[in-house]
Structure 1
Amino acid sequence: MADEINKSLQKIAAMVKTIHEATRNNAYTELLTYSVISFDNVWNPGVIQSAREFKITLHVHPDVYVKLYTIIPSMAKTLRNDFNRVSNYEFSEIEILPDYDKFTLVDATIQPVFTPWDEINQSQEKLLVMLRQSTDHLDFQNIGNTARTILQNLADIVYDPSRHAHEDPSADMSAGKFKNRLNAYIHTELKGSGNEELRNFADAQITAMKKTIDLANATTHKLNVGRPFAEACAVGTIHVISIIKTINKSKA
């Protein structure tokens, strides 16, 4: 009997969603699409109540919850009325909460580096949002793709072919070879005795930079990539940005 009631309640929820889809109420449709809906009997001691009285709980995907946060109280009232109108059950309460099972905390120590380049700043934010929202290996691969794109854009910004010559004359310096471009940028900009300390620091970091780029490549192509791999890729990318920012600042 309980299973039959639950099926009926889920059908009611589907009907409410269908109505909002038909009337193009996009906010309500999005809320219902990205929610897990549950029903609980309402029992208050000493009060005669019907076994057909229920409380509705919507556990909403965190991103949708944040997007609709300011209008959720009014949406709750509307939805409770909708559920009551399309059924012979009584829905006395409705609660709309974020689904914390789908909310992933990114390590608080992973912070974007503020740079003079808006595109790089925005890309870092996007990378960390992707990391927070990622749930499977396809998401983690996309983090690798985004990391590669960020490093490519960074190289395009700082590399000047008329100024930054690679130590290896045969090195490919075409647009897609951002590893070579960043390497040439670092070694050119840190020449001279006045940059010895910074150059020593950068020399120690160049290996890490190369490993970051290799990690981004591997993350892109690794079929069973997991969260630790993707998180290391994001951290390494931001670390490279920090190095390039430091060198760029030293030129000012």
Structure 2
Amino acid sequence: MHLTKLQAVSRVVVAVAAVGSVLNACSLFGGDKPDDAAPVGYPRSWIWEAAKGISLQAGEAKAVRAWVESQTLYQDSRVSYPGFAAATSAELLDGMVAANSSSQGGGTDRYLVRSLVVQNQELRVSLCSDRWDEFGFRADGSFIDAGTELAVRELVMRKPATTSTPPSEATTRSLTGGQPTTPVPVGRLPYSQWLKGPTTNVFDGWVAASWGVSVKPPPDCIAWFKRNHPQLDYPTGYGRDNRPNQPKSPPPPTLPGSPGW
């Protein structure tokens, strides 16, 4: 489920205009897709917090939140929030398309916005990323592993000089024809039954240019993680082998998201 580990499965190079139309067709909130053809996935949620002085309801923070959540959804099942295609560089979108469609993530991701700086049409964000409550499943619903990564993620978004001209090419794969419909695989539900995201484009012209990661969390991220999981003895009790009661299928419950949309 990491971008750096994604294996390309099938690729179709199309113009970004076509990418936009595909994502609109696959959007959770387009309202033009019949229920029996809706993409399915494991319930997921996002719990967001921010350092003092940063509002999660500000426009720039909403753009960041929507992009981070959308890139996860898009890797899982090629669905996204409205405007995601235009808010993603061709290079990043191309990497997401290489996701392994035989497995899928579920559960809850936690993020702490450490810093958010806007300068000269550039938005730079530093995030603590806690995936302890995220899980990986195969298409049949069987458990793969628990997400145990504590990391710092850096997102850079920019406003192009001319927002009406998107990147020339990107890679995508259509949901049509390949999505399981009936019977629904174990533990998977139509996205429309559990995901509550923005119904309008909240990106405001921001385009994600880079999405980096460092697996050496600084002290503030470690302290935040400990607050999230006081029962764990970090770092001694933090690791794949230390996770108790590794679930089988169906997947464990997903925590309530916050602050939501």
Range of TM-score over shorter length: under 0.3
Give 1 or 2 for the bigger CA radius of gyration: 1
The structure that is strand-richer by fraction is 2
The structure that is helix-richer by fraction is 1
For normalisation by structure 1, the TM-score amounts to: 0.24
